[in-house]
Amino acid sequence: MLVAVYAGEPLTERELPRVAPGPSADEDTPVRFVTDRVGAYRLFQPPDPARCAPGGPTAGPPPTGEPGWDPFHP
Protein backbone atom coordinates (compact mmCIF):
# COMPACT_ATOMS: atom_id res chain seq x y z
CA MET A 1 0.00 0.00 0.00
CA LEU A 2 1.28 3.42 -0.90
CA VAL A 3 0.27 6.29 1.42
CA ALA A 4 1.11 9.88 0.55
CA VAL A 5 0.76 13.23 2.32
CA TYR A 6 0.16 16.14 -0.01
CA ALA A 7 -1.24 19.66 -0.04
CA GLY A 8 -4.51 20.72 -1.60
CA GLU A 9 -7.03 18.74 -3.60
CA PRO A 10 -6.72 14.98 -4.18
CA LEU A 11 -3.96 14.02 -6.58
CA THR A 12 -5.02 13.81 -10.18
CA GLU A 13 -4.37 10.79 -12.37
CA ARG A 14 -1.47 12.68 -13.97
CA GLU A 15 0.17 13.36 -10.56
CA LEU A 16 0.28 9.73 -9.46
CA PRO A 17 3.47 7.68 -9.85
CA ARG A 18 3.81 6.33 -13.39
CA VAL A 19 5.29 3.08 -12.19
CA ALA A 20 4.41 1.83 -8.75
CA PRO A 21 6.63 -0.69 -6.95
CA GLY A 22 5.38 -4.25 -6.93
CA PRO A 23 4.18 -6.11 -3.83
CA SER A 24 7.63 -7.54 -3.15
CA ALA A 25 9.31 -4.09 -3.06
CA ASP A 26 11.09 -2.99 0.10
CA GLU A 27 9.53 -0.27 2.23
CA ASP A 28 12.58 1.88 1.36
CA THR A 29 11.94 1.65 -2.40
CA PRO A 30 11.85 5.18 -3.84
CA VAL A 31 8.63 6.27 -5.52
CA ARG A 32 8.67 9.09 -8.10
CA PHE A 33 5.54 11.21 -8.09
CA VAL A 34 4.89 13.49 -11.07
CA THR A 35 4.19 16.46 -8.79
CA ASP A 36 5.96 18.47 -6.14
CA ARG A 37 2.83 18.57 -3.91
CA VAL A 38 3.73 15.29 -2.17
CA GLY A 39 5.50 16.12 1.06
CA ALA A 40 5.95 12.59 2.35
CA TYR A 41 5.00 9.05 1.47
CA ARG A 42 5.35 5.57 2.86
CA LEU A 43 5.22 2.20 1.21
CA PHE A 44 3.76 -0.61 3.33
CA GLN A 45 4.38 -4.29 2.64
CA PRO A 46 1.33 -6.51 2.16
CA PRO A 47 0.87 -9.12 4.89
CA ASP A 48 0.87 -11.85 2.21
CA PRO A 49 2.75 -10.77 -0.96
CA ALA A 50 1.72 -13.94 -2.82
CA ARG A 51 -1.92 -12.82 -2.69
CA CYS A 52 -0.93 -9.56 -4.42
CA ALA A 53 0.91 -11.20 -7.31
CA PRO A 54 -0.45 -10.71 -10.82
CA GLY A 55 -3.03 -13.38 -11.61
CA GLY A 56 -3.65 -13.97 -7.89
CA PRO A 57 -7.04 -14.03 -6.21
CA THR A 58 -9.22 -10.96 -6.44
CA ALA A 59 -10.48 -9.04 -3.46
CA GLY A 60 -13.51 -10.34 -1.65
CA PRO A 61 -16.49 -8.31 -0.54
CA PRO A 62 -15.87 -5.67 2.13
CA PRO A 63 -16.40 -6.68 5.74
CA THR A 64 -19.67 -5.72 7.35
CA GLY A 65 -20.34 -4.31 10.79
CA GLU A 66 -18.15 -2.11 12.93
CA PRO A 67 -14.68 -1.37 11.55
CA GLY A 68 -12.99 -2.20 14.87
CA TRP A 69 -11.24 1.16 15.09
CA ASP A 70 -12.23 4.60 16.22
CA PRO A 71 -13.12 6.67 13.12
CA PHE A 72 -12.17 9.83 15.04
CA HIS A 73 -8.63 8.59 15.74
CA PRO A 74 -6.11 11.11 14.33
Instruction: Give the pLDDT of residue 73.
Output: 61
Give 10's pLDDT tier (boundaries 50, 70, 90): very high
pTM for the full model? Answer: 0.53
Least confident of 27-31, 38-42, 52-56: 52-56
- The three-state secondary structure class of 42 is strand
**Angle of CA points 60, 71, 24, to nearest 5°:** 45
Instruction: Give the pLDDT of residue 67.
Output: 58
Question: Where do the structural domains in the chain lie, given as residue ranges?
Answer: 2-49
- The three-state secondary structure class of 14 is helix
